[in-house]
Homo-oligomer: A and B are copies of this chain.
Amino acid sequence: MAADRTGQIVVAFISERTGEDAEGYAIAAQAMDALAARQPGYRGIDSVSSGGVGITLSYWADEAAAVAWRNHPEHAETREAGRGRWYKWYRLHVAEIGRSYGWDRG
């Protein structure tokens, strides 16, 4: 895993799921992960969820790449279709990484 992400854009998506349509959600989430990974400027993802609450961090080479992913037609369509069904709420923050550190057990 790359440690230094200085200069990259991180999109933080924090959400709580309704629990409705869990299968539909899982299929869409997997499809969106695969689609994101094929976008220009994609730099990786970190994602953890537990008890319906999730945090996903996606990393992008620059602002333009993050915006292009937001505007991707298939992404927009899935987002719109799933919003009221899958989520109780979500928060999304787009931020530019100014400092980045990593540590691995030696």
Binding site for B on A (CB under 8 A): 1, 3, 5, 10, 12, 14, 18, 46-50, 53-55, 57, 63, 83-84, 87-105
Contact = CB atoms under 8 A, between A and B. Distances in A.
Contacts of A90: 102-103
* Identical chains bound together, number: 2
Given A83-B103, A96-B98, A91 B48 contact: no
Contact of A105 (B12, B84, B100, B105): B84
Residue from A53, A55, A94, A100 with most neighbouring chain B CB atoms (10 Å) = A55
Contact of A95 (B87, B89, B95, B104): B95
A10 B95 contact: yes
